[in-house]
Structure 1
Amino acid sequence: MSRLIIVSNRVAPISEGGPAAGGLAVGVYDALKETGGMWFGWSGDVLASGQPQIQLEEHGPVTFATIGLLRRDYDQYYRGFSNATLWPAFHYRADLVQYDRHDFEGYRRVNGWLAHQLVPLLRDDDIIWVHDYHLIPFAEALRAAGVKNRIGFFLHIPFPASQVLLAVPTHHELVKALCSFDLLGFQTKPDLRAFCDYVVNEADGSVMQQPDGLTRVEAFGQTLFAGDYPIGVYPDEIAELARAGERGKPVRTLKATLHGRKVIMSVDRLDYSKGLVERFRAFERLLDQHPTQRNNVSFVQIAPPTRADLHAYQDIRLRLEAESGRINGRYAELDWTPIWYIHRQYERAVLAALFRASQVGYVTPLRDGMNLVAKEYVSAQDPEDPGVLVLSRFAGAAQELTGALIVNPLDIDGMADALAMALALPLAERVARYRDMMAQLRENNVSVWRDRFMRDLTQIGDKRRAALPLRSKAAHEAVQGQDQG
């Protein structure tokens, strides 16, 4: 059996129930344990000097291969192009894009260097699965080194519309690099459609829908395949974590402090893409327009720190602290704090229990590839008395979780109305919405996501031989017109 080689920017530490054991970590680690293989990537160490060396660590059939980065490489590859250029652009924040050609050169250099480190560890029949925006040029670098293995790529964040991607000066080089993979995976059909639009309209390429649902792409002299693979969770496992934590100290403390008040719960990394400021203001609007909710509901926002050395993240933290202080100053009473803003990280088991203890899950990013918090919130609910999910239409999860109350995160009044509706929704409707979403989560759990992608990547040679003629640009535009109509 072929080994599976996972390549990601960070190699996640695996600790059962720990904070890092989320979607990517759980899904790919299970696959590695089943097939045997290797997880390769940055260790998280930043070195002042020297020559970083690969560290190999065996855990049963899985080898963890990690390597540090020099400070210059970290600054250009990670802080620079990955997170100051690609992250804002792919999340539709062209106004926050910072571009420096030296950072892009560093991004490509580090991808090439990492690929060079991996090559000696590969076997001829290995299947390579590369993850996320940090590693877009990785397959191109492997191909240049003579690697002929099947290589897949999955983008965990959104793929932006062409006119947004054009804000990145090196957009052409990025999409060309993507075309060195055999299979591209996107979270949603709109993301896949955006990639195909770029190929046809900006790269003079061609796309063709295949009978098996994949899209055949021809661009930059390459032929590859692309599809949408919405990542999932293990809903029953999360439900068990939530049940086990119901009597734990965090939940007991929360309930004792609230004295029977309802809870609106949010958990997000501290990031400008998450719509946190808009979320705070919509909660304020709820208290303003629905006075009966005052002293009857509290909003708990858990926002662990992330990328604290980037100015944009320092700014969003200061804005949130100011907003929570202002709103609490306006509405708080001696025995009631409207907003609990918590700037720290909790383990998954604790979060699952807190989700179960809350009446509303409040997940309203301005743009998100999927957002597994939405799926975890639903999974954690008590089937007999479930809470209600308020979800942004711009989260990939909104394509599946139609039982949520779907909102536009820029519509402050609309979000306030949705919160009021969620707090008042009758039990029968809450149960019906919950059951509908749980059925979807079980049908498309993280194993299904992983197995679909691996099946398609494994069979990619057969798909190439069976590929149909490509669709012309005119035909593509005609089909897009039908889709929009």
Structure 2
Amino acid sequence: MESGMQKLVVVSNRLPAALKKDNGQWTVKAGSGGLITAMAPVLKNRGGVWIGWSGAADPAMDVDGLLADFSNEAGYELCTVPLTQDDVDGYYYGFSNEIIWPLFHDLQTRCRFYPEYWRAYLDVNFKFAEVVARKSDQDDYIWIQDYHLMHQAFFLKSMGVKRNIGFFLHIPFPPPDIFMKLPWRRKVLQALIDYDLVGFQTIQDRKNFVGCLQRIMPETRVDGCGSVVTVHTGNRHFRVGAFPISIDYNQFSDLAKQPNVVRKAFELKEALRHRKIILGVDRLDYTKGIPERIRSIQNLLRRYPDLKGRMNFVQIAVPSREEVDEYKDLRTEIEQLVGRVNGEFSMPGWVPVHYHYRSLSHEDLVAYYAAADIGLVTPLRDGMNLVAKEYCACNNSEDGVLVLSEFAGAAAQLQEHAYLVNPYDMDGVAKGLHRAFHWSKEVRSHHMVHLREQVRKNNIFWWVDSFLQAGIAKTLGDFPEIDTVHFEQV
């Protein structure tokens, strides 16, 4: 890469590759999740850098050596931030996931506001900022991802390091009455206003953020209109915008057309005797509303006995935070609910709920999307929810129905042609599913065509361009691909 050429530096809690111990040996495994899906094509072969934690809590390990091959394959440099087990416990499991995650998802009763978590959060954010300062140049654009790292601009500024730095929050931002419960509310807001650009998933999240600023800093005023505005508070002015994240539409749609995926989708339909398939796909988390969804299926079968034997609900739950007691309890609750529903309604040759607690390969997941007649995406609260968009992209037959929670960020974009439901209203979800089940082919096609066009136009590259345009008046095209050695994946 030419000296002095501006590059993108992405900073997130986790790298897109994780170290795992198998039979006493450390191995490198590709990560998963919305952020990695979104950012990998953006950095590939453009001289980019991704900074994050490797997943190993042993600072003495030669992590960089283990990740070297992955970096070559990925087409961008991976830089690790070494963390101890105490760091991980306090900053990640503690402050990030026992305070910010539940609070920002309107579930404040699950919060544990322990002061030691706050101290660990600041310590780790400082460690990240040191690596960012060392691994970036003044001309680079630093793009900080998500709630784990809200203090990056604050610490870089305190070090005297000048960088153009943007922040994007992938989860919702709560309204003032909820945010004010955070003991460190002023310090968090003061850290966020040190960024040059703060991005949110929706206009509502942006409004919530500005409302919190105005509550704590009454002099705050907003200039402009549209998705990006300028905020003035004290002697600071910075930009704040709504940038709904998306997916690589063509990647999903094209994969769904591959003969082996088409065959897998057909085999799924055959195995379920061509009954209509209602599909839920989620990481196992209490914000996703999986127990409420299963109870909605129970209500559906109780209220509409005509559907018995004519549909199957398939719930895929991807394992997450398996060592945390709350998540173990959630898994147990879901398994017991599935057992009750199947015990109540099963008949010879028909079991209504198929529950899979495991990760799926990309091909298998796309086959499920392609096979499903109804995508049931009902989080209690979600920043965006890319599953809703993935389902639409894979529905090449344009014959599916998206039943979507009004509390998912995706609802702001897809509300006109998705069937919106309140996930807490289990009778309402059942009613919505029954209606969707009986929609004519023409109605289903009309809505799905528009949903797919929305996702196709506003894809991951549009998301990146809109953020970079607001941050540095550039687009992805200003970070051209460079000559690089390609390695075949093993």
TM-score by length of structure 2 reads: 0.88
Residue 6 of structure 2 aligns with which residue? Answer: 2
Q: 1:108 to 1:427 in 2, by over 3 A?
A: same
SS of the aligned residue for 2:82 comes to: strand
1:124 to 127, 138, 158: 138
Task: Tell me if 1:394 matches 2:407.
Answer: yes
1:451 to 457, 462, 465: 465
CA displacement at 1:28 relative to structure 2:
2.2
Residue 43 of structure 2 aligns with which residue? Answer: 32
How far apart, in 1, do the equivalents of 2:142 and 2:227 lie?
22
How far apart, in 1, do the equivalents of 2:449 and 2:149 lie?
38
SS of the aligned residue for 1:68 comes to: coil
CA displacement at 1:203 relative to structure 2:
2.3
* Root mean square deviation, CA, Å: 2.1
Q: 2:54–2:63: 8 Å Cα contact kept in structure 1?
A: no
Residue 468 of structure 1 aligns with which residue? Answer: none
How far apart, in 2, do the equivalents of 1:411 and 1:71 lie?
41
CA displacement at 1:436 relative to structure 2:
1.1
Residue 223 of structure 1 aligns with which residue? Answer: 237
SS of the aligned residue for 1:45 comes to: coil
CA displacement at 1:432 relative to structure 2:
0.5
How far apart, in 2, do the equivalents of 1:330 and 1:265 lie?
20
Residue 486 of structure 2 aligns with which residue? Answer: none
1:326 to 312, 317, 340: 340
Q: Which runs of 4+ in 1 moved over 6 A?
A: none
Residue 482 of structure 2 aligns with which residue? Answer: none
CA displacement at 1:237 relative to structure 2:
2.0
Q: 1:351 to 1:53 in 2, by over 3 A?
A: closer
Task: Tell me if 1:135 matches 2:149.
Answer: yes
Give percent identity, aligned residues only. 36
Q: 1:105 to 1:21 in 2, by over 3 A?
A: closer
Q: 2:265–2:370: 8 Å Cα contact kept in structure 1?
A: no
Letter in 1 for 2:378: T
What are the Cα deviations for residues 161-188 of structure 1, in whole angstroms up to 9, with x where unaligned? 1111122211111111111111000000
Q: 2:81–2:127: 8 Å Cα contact kept in structure 1?
A: no
What are the Cα deviations for residues 13-60 of structure 1, in whole angstroms up to 9, with x where unaligned? 39xxx984554224322222364221000001122x758876673437
Residue 307 of structure 2 aligns with which residue? Answer: 293
SS of the aligned residue for 1:396 comes to: coil
Letter in 2 for 1:119: A
Q: 1:382 to 1:31 in 2, by over 3 A?
A: closer
Q: 1:171 to 1:220 in 2, by over 3 A?
A: farther
Letter in 2 for 1:217: V
Q: What does residue range 24-63 of structure 1 map to in structure 2 within 5 Å?
A: 24-33=35-44, 35-47=46-58, 50=60, 57=68, 58-59=71-72, 62-63=76-77
Letter in 2 for 1:419: L
How far apart, in 1, do the equivalents of 2:464 and 2:344 lie?
48
Q: 1:205–1:217: 8 Å Cα contact kept in structure 2?
A: no
Q: 2:105–2:287: 8 Å Cα contact kept in structure 1?
A: yes
Q: What does residue range 47-446 of structure 1 map to in structure 2 within 5 Å?
A: 47=58, 50=60, 57=68, 58-59=71-72, 62-210=76-224, 213-219=227-233, 221-244=235-258, 250-383=264-397, 385-401=398-414, 402-446=416-460
- Could you list the runs of 5+ residues in structure 1 that have no partner in the other structure? 461-485
How far apart, in 2, do the equivalents of 1:64 and 1:118 lie?
12
How far apart, in 2, do the equivalents of 1:10 and 1:24 lie?
10
How far apart, in 2, do the equivalents of 1:258 and 1:180 lie?
54
Residue 474 of structure 1 aligns with which residue? Answer: none
Q: 1:247 to 1:116 in 2, by over 3 A?
A: closer
How far apart, in 2, do the equivalents of 1:62 and 1:89 lie?
34
How far apart, in 2, do the equivalents of 1:297 and 1:61 lie?
44
Q: 2:202–2:242: 8 Å Cα contact kept in structure 1?
A: yes
CA displacement at 1:329 relative to structure 2:
0.7
- Could you list the runs of 5+ residues in structure 2 that have no partner in the other structure? 19-28, 475-490
How far apart, in 1, do the equivalents of 2:93 and 2:360 lie?
25
How far apart, in 2, do the equivalents of 1:228 and 1:234 lie?
19
How far apart, in 2, do the equivalents of 1:396 and 1:61 lie?
31
Q: 1:5–1:126: 8 Å Cα contact kept in structure 2?
A: yes
Letter in 1 for 2:289: G
Letter in 2 for 1:36: G
Q: 1:407–1:418: 8 Å Cα contact kept in structure 2?
A: yes
SS of the aligned residue for 2:279 comes to: strand
TM-score by length of structure 1 reads: 0.89
How far apart, in 1, do the equivalents of 2:190 and 2:80 lie?
27
Q: 1:126 to 1:270 in 2, by over 3 A?
A: same
How far apart, in 1, do the equivalents of 2:422 and 2:30 lie?
29
SS of the aligned residue for 2:318 comes to: coil
What are the Cα deviations for residues 437-463 of structure 1, in whole angstroms up to 9, with x where unaligned? 112112211101001101211149xxx
How far apart, in 1, do the equivalents of 2:340 and 2:218 lie?
52
CA displacement at 1:337 relative to structure 2:
1.1
How far apart, in 2, do the equivalents of 1:452 and 1:352 lie?
27
How far apart, in 2, do the equivalents of 1:339 and 1:19 lie?
31
How far apart, in 1, do the equivalents of 2:278 and 2:30 lie?
21
What are the Cα deviations for residues 107-151 of structure 1, in whole angstroms up to 9, with x where unaligned? 010000121123222212111000000001111111111111100
SS of the aligned residue for 1:317 comes to: helix
Letter in 2 for 1:215: V
Letter in 2 for 1:335: G
Letter in 1 for 2:405: S
CA displacement at 1:368 relative to structure 2:
0.3
Q: 1:338 to 1:90 in 2, by over 3 A?
A: same
CA displacement at 1:398 relative to structure 2:
0.6
SS of the aligned residue for 2:57 comes to: strand
How far apart, in 2, do the equivalents of 1:246 and 1:423 lie?
28
Q: 1:287–1:294: 8 Å Cα contact kept in structure 2?
A: yes
Moved more, 180-189 or 161-170: 161-170
Residue 464 of structure 1 aligns with which residue? Answer: none
CA displacement at 1:98 relative to structure 2:
1.0
